[in-house]
A = this chain, B = another copy of it.
Amino acid sequence: MMLKIGALASLAGVSRDTLRFYEKHGLITPDTRTDSGYRLYSETDVYRISFILSAKEVGFTLNEIHQLLELEVTKDDKSCHDVKQFVDNKIQVVNQRLGEMEKIKQSLKTLSNACCGGDEPATHCTILGALSVQNR
C-alpha cells in the first residue's frame, strides 16, 4: 500500500508543499519513487508524518523534531533518560518564554491601568508618556 503525495497529504491534513518542504529539510523522505518520479510513501512514512505533526502539536520546532526523529530511529541505542532529558529541556525553554511573556503582560497592564481611557485628546496620555521615557 503505497501512497502518492496527494493521498498522504490529505490523510495527514497538510499540503503537498508542506510534505516536500519537510523532505527538503530531512524530516520525511518517500520510500521510493515511480519510474516517472512520483513520490511513493509507505506505512512507515505515514507513521513518521504522524510523529512529526504530534510533535509540532506539543510545541517542538521542526529543528527539534529533527533531533527527536533521530532519537526515534536510533532508539535501540538511546535510553529513556535521553528522551526524557530532551523533553525536559524543552519544558525549561517554554517555561522561560512563559515568564518573559508574563512580564510583558504585566507591563502592558500597568500601562493600560494608568490611562484614563477617556475621549479627550491623547496629548496627556500616560501610555504615550511612559513609552517616550527610557525605562531601565
A residues whose Cβ falls under 8 Å from a Cβ of B: 47, 50-51, 53-55, 57-59, 68, 71-72, 75-85, 87-88, 90-91, 94-95, 97-98, 101-102, 104-105, 107-109, 111-112, 115-125, 127-128, 130-136
Contacts and interface: CB of A to CB of B under 8 A. Distances in A.
Nearest to A119: B79
Copies, count: 2
Query: Majority SS of interface residues in chain A?
Result: helix
Contacts of A134: 50, 53-54
A97 B122 CA distance: 29
A100 to B, nearest CB: 9
Contacts of A102: 98
